[in-house]
């Protein structure tokens, strides 16, 4: 953590420095997520130098006539966050602070992109929560809150520009509901200017084939399976007659020979394999 991210200023000190009431700062933090970005439960909320800069920027924008909501968004985007700051994301998740979660995820996404946000922040945060669950139990609420915030952030990432070829279909296999990795792939493709059709959770083989038939370009189908029960090799064979198939998720680990599908083991791997074949 850099010195600019170290929590050190109380709300009273920041209020005097910026020139607004302490009640206003607390409101901005609670309603818009512009406030202390680092917080350990049971301790006082302290502002870092970067937090103060965001508050100052919001104050300037409001003074210039920008609405509070727009000012908060612009202020949050103006400060580059630490790359791969898992601790801040975990703290916000454990506090069930959806505003801070959204702010942290959107800021990291804007400054470092989908791939780095997914691999350096989101996946490690999930791993840490799963470790807590195994050691201490609980934290299911924390996992679900983080999932909601990540999904919301990824779904707000820009789509591919108008006119871009749509040659990827993203779908969970039948009875599979773990759609978040496909949301990340959709956002990463859109970031690179490539279109993708997101079919989401629990998609039967015939629906995937129907979607492929509606597209005019050669199609790559990405099938996600999280468990052994949803890794259906018959679906792979059926879809592969109509499109190249990439297989994502740990469910396929239990399939001895998932050919004719090609196994991908990470978001980076999926992007690399798709770009090589595009």
pLDDT for 58-79, tens place per residue? Answer: 999 999 999 998 998 888 777 7
What pLDDT was estimated at residue 40? 59
Instruction: Say what percent of the chain tops pLDDT 90.
Output: 58
Provide the pLDDT confidence category of residue 110 given band limits of 50, 70 and 90.
confident
What is the pLDDT confidence band of residue 267, given thresholds at 50, 70 and 90? very high
pLDDT exceeds cutoff 70 at 258: no
Mean pLDDT of the chain: 89
State the pLDDT confidence band at 99, using cuts at 50, 70 and 90: confident
Query: Is pLDDT of 31 > 80?
Result: yes
Longest dimension (CA), the chain: 67
Q: Are 156 and 103 in contact (CB under 8 A)?
A: no
The string over 6-24, giving b where at least 16 C-beta atoms fall within 10 Å of a residue's C-beta and e elsewhere, is ebebebeebbeebebeeeb
Q: How far is CA 58 from CA 4, 70, 121, 122, 129, in A?
A: 18, 9, 26, 27, 33
Helix (H, G, I), strand (E, B) or coil at 195: strand
Residue 41 has pLDDT above 60, yes or no: no
**Helix (H) / strand (E) containing 60:** helix 49-63
Q: Which domains does the chain have, with CATH numbers?
A: 3-78 (1.10.1660.10), 86-155 (1.10.1240), 166-277 (3.40.50.280)
Residues forming beta bridges with residue 9, ordered by sequence position: 47
- Judged by average pLDDT, the poorest of 94-103, 127-136, 199-208 is 94-103
Confidence category of residue 2, pLDDT binned at 50, 70, 90: low
Spatial strand order of the sheet with 244-248 comes to 195-200, 166-172, 220-224, 244-248, 262-263
Could you tell me the pTM of the whole model?
Answer: 0.77
Quote the DSSP letter at residue 106. Answer: H
pLDDT at position 74 is 85
Question: pLDDT, tens digit, for every residue of 221-235?
Answer: 999 999 999 999 999
139: left (phi over 0), alpha (psi -120 to 50) or beta: left
In sign, the C-alpha dihedral spanning 28, 31, 32, 38 is: positive
């Amino acid at each position: 953590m850099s010195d600019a991210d170290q929590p050190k200023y109380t709300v009273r000190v920041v209020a005097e420095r910026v020139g607004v009431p302490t009640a206003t700062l607390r409101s901005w933090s609670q309603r818009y997520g512009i406030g202390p970005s680092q917080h350990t439960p049971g301790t006082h909320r302290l502002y870092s130098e970067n937090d103060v800069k965001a508050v100052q920027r919001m104050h300037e924008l409001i003074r210039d006539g920008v609405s509070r909501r727009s000012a908060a968004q612009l202020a949050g985007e103006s400060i580059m966050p630490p790359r791969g700051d898992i601790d801040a994301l975990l703290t916000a998740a454990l506090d069930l602070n959806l505003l801070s979660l959204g702010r942290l995820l959107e800021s990291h996404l804007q400054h470092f992109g989908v791939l780095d946000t997914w691999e350096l922040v989101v996946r490690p945060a999930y791993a840490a929560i799963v470790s807590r669950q195994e050691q201490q139990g609980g934290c299911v609420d924390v996992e679900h809150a983080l999932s909601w915030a990540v999904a919301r952030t990824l779904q707000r990432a820009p789509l591919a520009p108008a006119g871009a070829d749509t040659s990827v279909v993203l779908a969970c296999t039948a009875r599979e509901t773990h759609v978040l990795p496909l949301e990340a792939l959709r956002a990463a493709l859109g970031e690179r200017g490539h279109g993708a059709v997101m079919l989401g959770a629990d998609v039967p083989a015939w629906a995937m084939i129907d979607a492929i038939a509606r597209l005019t370009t050669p199609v790559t189908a990405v099938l996600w399976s999280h468990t052994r029960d949803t890794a259906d090799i018959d679906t792979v064979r059926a879809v592969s007659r109509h499109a190249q198939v990439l297989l994502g998720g740990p469910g396929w680990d239990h399939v001895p020979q998932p050919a004719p599908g090609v196994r991908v083991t990470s978001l980076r791997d999926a992007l690399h394999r798709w770009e090589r074949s595009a």
